[in-house]
Chains A and B, each alone.
Chain A
């Protein structure tokens, strides 16, 4: 019985492991004095350090305008030379990536309006993991699942013992 419960627990944990170990990549963008800075993170505490960055300019979506790597804090800075929608693509080369559109608007090169930030379209690529809400649900499901297994295991033990006593 113990072996069966342990196997079931292991099966659930392994079954969820793909989701558990998948990181969601988040990006935060700022633009000031002609410099665009993007910070890429798995979570507020865990930056995407040394991740591969590819930037495409508004006029050319095929040839990369610039490539490079994030620093150890997950930051990457570049200087957009024209207005329009720039594509920032970050890839940690471990299966997690994110594409972010950065809109550089005319006459707002000093500091973007809040709306400009809101317009940034962020697209999770297939490599990106679940968002915070899904992770909370995943964690709660695992906790309640394990609780259910132990509850079932314990109540079955109790029932068996009662039958034996009778």
Chain B
């Protein structure tokens, strides 16, 4: 899931990093005092989750928790994903600093799509949760494959999708379990984050 330095061309990486920094500002500004601790805890979970590996089909996959991040944080998940990836790259050399923007856009889009799915209230909640978890992984995987193809890698990179389908199914199950847990112990965390934002007046953002 994490693209290392040297795989994607430098101009693309730099453009993506600039775009990602802009998105961090746009999606992170006006965060309320209620949201900031939630963002910190989710960021910590994302940071640690990538270290939990599962052996699959001769390779290993790891947790992402982007679906849960999208459900809990909504659009605020993008700065959280960016921060978690930054520290993963700095501390564990997981991914790369040059590809930070590409990785953040890939995984941030996954979290954002998970949030979109979570908002479709016509779907039963538990189905939405599982689907959001699945989407949180499969969308970044598809974006990653598309970037590899654009960079010039052959069609064989599509095999990555098969591996990530398994990861996405695991993630869907974990997201479902998390939603069931939150619904029992702290249901307000599953409320629409944007609606919560509107309830609190934000000072000093001008």
Q: Could you list which residues of chain A lie within 8 angstroms of chain B, going by C-beta atoms?
A: 20-21, 23, 42-43, 45-46, 132, 135-136, 138-140, 142-144, 146-148, 150-151, 154-155, 157-158, 160-162
Contacts and interface: CB of A to CB of B under 8 A. Distances in A.
B44 A140 contact: yes
B4 interface: yes
Given A139-B47, A140-B44, A144-B40, A20 B33 contact: no
The size bracket of the interface on B is 20 to 34
A151 B31 CA distance: 9
Nearest to B2: A45
B192 interface: no
A143 B83 contact: yes
Interface string B82-94: 0110011011111
A146 B92 contact: no
A138 B36 contact: no
30 contacts: A20-B90, A23-B93, A43-B92, A43-B93, A45-B4, A45-B94, A46-B93, A132-B51, A135-B91, A136-B48, A138-B91, A139-B48, A139-B91, A140-B47, A142-B87, A143-B47, A143-B87, A144-B44, A146-B40, A147-B36, A147-B40, A147-B41, A147-B43, A150-B36, A154-B32, A154-B33, A155-B33, A157-B203, A158-B204, A162-B203
Contacts of A160: 203-204
B39 interface: yes
Contacts of B83: 143, 146
Contacts of B93: 23, 42-43, 45-46
B24 to A, nearest CB: 12
Contact of B84 (A45, A143, A151, A162): A143
